[in-house]
Amino acid sequence: MLNVYSIKELLQQSNWTIEIVVAKLIELDYICFPELCEETEGTLEHWIPIVKHFSDIWWVLLEEDKVIGSLSVLLLNEKGIKLTEQGEFSGGSFDTNILDLSNSICSKTGIFIDEVAIHPLYRKKGGLQLLLSEYKKWLSSKNNVQYAVGVTLVGQYLCEKYLGLISTKKAKVGLPGIVYKSL
């Protein structure tokens, strides 16, 4: 049976630490995106404070105690929005000065869908719909611009068909992809 939890919920309901969760997420990334390297993925040390800060808007998909999927959201400040719109930010390893760490979403905060990952062996089991449902519930009370970078053809399809985002330009840094934005 598949279940979705925010990382915050998972940490409260399990004996996992943030280090264990982040290590499992990085492991999942390398399985889902074999073209990744440490430069584009980032390190455990890079991700722990980010995941901890955004733990209530970072969802994991579990089958029993195995992490088989995730959907992560980052909140961007004005600098992050500008870099994203210019194709200069596409997720992965980055300088955290582009994030809105204020814990309050204002009208100038950009919502960046950093990643949607489903383990290849579990892609046709309904996990994507579970993750998107949690994201859309959270998003329903927000009126902010959404951003994403579709790196794979599946990611680009997801941005367009499931999330209703429009392509704006090619990403100039990180993994090659297309920058998407909500209307």
pLDDT in tens, 150-162: 988 999 999 999 9
pLDDT band at 183 (very low <50, low <70, confident <90, very high): confident
Tokens at 136, concatenated: 């859309």
pLDDT band at 137 (very low <50, low <70, confident <90, very high): very high
Over residues 9-26, mean pLDDT? 97
Whether the per-residue pLDDT at 134 is higher than 90: the answer is: yes
Domain count, the chain: 1
pLDDT digits (tens, 9 = 90+) for 75-107: 999 999 999 999 998 877 688 899 999 878 888
Q: According to DSSP H, which parts of the chain are helical?
A: 7-13, 18-32, 38-41, 44-53, 78-85, 127-139, 153-157
Over residues 146-150, mean pLDDT? 95
The pLDDT, as a whole number, for residue 93 is: 66
> How high is the mean pLDDT of the chain?
93
Phi, psi (deg, nearest 5) at residue 174: 65, -150
- pTM score of the predicted model: 0.91
Identify the domain containing residue 112 by its residue range. Answer: 2-181
CATH number at residue 97: 3.40.630.30
**Residues with Cβ < 8 Å from 78, sequence gap 6 or more?**
108
The pLDDT, as a whole number, for residue 107 is: 85
The pLDDT, as a whole number, for residue 84 is: 94
The pLDDT, as a whole number, for residue 37 is: 81
Count the alpha carbons within 13 Å of 165 in the hemisphere toward its beta carbon: 25
**What string of H, E and C letters represents the secondary structure of 39-56?**
HHHCCHHHHHHHHHHCHH
